[in-house]
Amino acid sequence: MDGVPVIRRKLKAWHRRHARVLPWRETADPYRIWISEIMLQQTRVEAVIPYYNRFLAAFPDLPTLACASEDDVLRHWEGLGYYSRARNLHEAAKVVVREFGGCLPDTVEGLRRLPGIGAYTAGAVASIAFGRRAALVDGNVSRVLARLFTVTEAVDGTAGRKRLWALAEVLVPEREPGLFNQALMELGACVCVPKVPRCGGCPVRGVCGAYRAGAVALYPVRARRGAVPHKEVVCGVLERGGRVLLGKRAEGMLRGLWEFPGGEVREGETQVGALARIVEGETGLRLREREALCVVDHAYSHFTLTLHAYVCEVSGRARCRHHAALEWVTESGLLLRAMPRADRIVADHWRNREIRPI
């Protein structure tokens, strides 16, 4: 493949001079590098830094994380999203203590046996923490490689992904593979950015296929996507004696987080009708009075939602029918539980009591 030695040399030299100073680049500890790689998946560097620092202050080493409760781990993850990452991290720490004597495996194959570690994370940890010649492809690397080698297959399709991994495997050098991989990712994050790449300052523009063809805007090629679905959702802040009722999610991507009882409004249903149906179905409680509290718009990766929250008076005895657990919690108890982002906004509104009559 043309240009491989040039790309390796120039990228490594550029990274040594221009790489951002980031907390996980100041350490050689595989545990800390692993935590950073999991947090950085689908999350911006600036958002990760405070979480990374707080998480490591709470769980400074792998045995401490393995011994922590899931609630505590999720609480330190709250707001970062993609909560399966936190649950898998916790589970993987337990596996490492139980089966690997507390030391992370140092090969791609060994790392991939752990929950939550896919091809990208295994490549990142093996190369950066253990100096293994292991390739990686993430969103930034996909874009850089698609432009450098004018990849015509869609980068989010099977053929495109296969091609990108094959390119990354050829490119990664025997010497300093971790430095090279980080340089590739850093180039994608800071220079070869999605909308207007800064080709004038790019260390590899001399060998970049898209740049030389004057066709940078055509890459990366993406498969066409349908519109993102939208959901109308209601939830109830059910009050009793100064406490509110929270349910612990039993399944799905938010499993283990605490939420207000609620769900989707059906076609032809009013918000209040949906609220009464859902509250009774999930908790056995009857809705008596309610007042509108707030409206929250939130976007997940594969859908968006508008959440209409109501403060409610209810009658009857709460029964756990839908959640892993139900608990009446105080205001301070709300702060101690990990909640999805939209529910946290509702909780903050309730604590500030911004109620308007309907």
User: CB 325: neighbour CB atoms within 10 A?
Assistant: 11
Q: Which is nearer to ligand SF4, 199 or 292 (CB)?
A: 199
Query: Rule CB under 6 A: is residue 205 a binding residue for ligand SF4?
Result: yes
Q: Which is nearer to ligand SF4, 45 or 190 (CB)?
A: 190
Minimum CB–partner distance for residue 297 and ligand SF4 (Å) = 34
Query: Rule CB under 6 A: is residue 220 a binding residue for ligand SF4?
Result: no
Q: Which is nearer to ligand SF4, 93 or 144 (CB)?
A: 144
Q: Which stretch binds ligand SF4 (CB under 6 A): 33-41, 54-62, 111-119, 142-150?
A: 142-150
Amino acid at the residue 287: L
Q: Pseudo-torsion of CA 283, 288, 289, 292, nearest 10°? A: 40
- Residue 176 catalytic? no
Query: Rule CB under 6 A: is residue 80 a binding residue for ligand SF4?
Result: no
Query: Rule CB under 6 A: is residue 244 a binding residue for ligand SF4?
Result: no
**Contact pattern for ligand SF4 over residues 338 through 357, marking x by CB under 6 A:** --------------------
Handedness of CA 6, 210, 192, 40 (dihedral sign): negative
Minimum CB–partner distance for residue 206 and ligand SF4 (Å) = 8
Q: Is residue 155 packed enough to be buried (19+ CB in 10 Å), middle (13-18) or exposed (0-12)?
A: buried
Given candidates 177, 197, 261, 262, which one binds ligand SF4 under the rule CB under 6 A? 197
Residue 263 CB contacts under 8 Å (≥ 6 apart), including other chains: 233, 234, 235, 274, 278, 282
CA-to-CA distance for 333 and 349, rounded, in angstroms? Answer: 15
Given candidates 199, 221, 253, 305, which one binds ligand SF4 under the rule CB under 6 A? 199
Q: Which stretch binds ligand SF4 (CB under 6 A): 49-57, 62-70, 155-163, 194-202?
A: 194-202
**Looking at the chain, which runs of residues are DSSP E strands?**
230-240, 243-248, 258-259, 262-264, 286-299, 304-315, 325-329
Given candidates 56, 68, 192, 234, which one binds ligand SF4 under the rule CB under 6 A? 192
Number of H helices, E strands in the chain: 15, 7
Q: Which stretch binds ligand SF4 (CB under 6 A): 35-43, 144-152, 282-290, 305-313?
A: 144-152
* Dihedral class, residue 130 (left if φ above 0, else alpha if ψ from -120 to 50, else beta): alpha
Query: Rule CB under 6 A: is residue 216 a binding residue for ligand SF4?
Result: yes
Minimum CB–partner distance for residue 121 and ligand SF4 (Å) = 24
Minimum CB–partner distance for residue 166 and ligand SF4 (Å) = 18
Minimum CB–partner distance for residue 256 and ligand SF4 (Å) = 40
Given candidates 148, 245, 294, 311, which one binds ligand SF4 under the rule CB under 6 A? 148
Q: Which is nearer to ligand SF4, 108 or 204 (CB)?
A: 204
CA-to-CA distance for 291 and 356, rounded, in angstroms? Answer: 7
CA-to-CA distance for 32 and 38, rounded, in angstroms? Answer: 10
Alpha carbon separation from 133 to 11, 44, 100, 124, 188 (Å, rounded): 16, 26, 22, 10, 20
Q: Which stretch binds ligand SF4 (CB under 6 A): 33-41, 97-105, 169-177, 204-212?
A: 204-212
Minimum CB–partner distance for residue 174 and ligand SF4 (Å) = 23
Find the helix packing angle between 70-77 and 84-99, rounded to 10°.
Answer: 130
Provide the token pair at 135: 């390739």
Amino acid at the residue 307: L
Q: Which positions lie near ligand SF4, rule CB under 6 A? A: 144, 147-148, 191-192, 197, 199, 202, 204-205, 208, 210-211, 216
Residues with catalytic function: 37
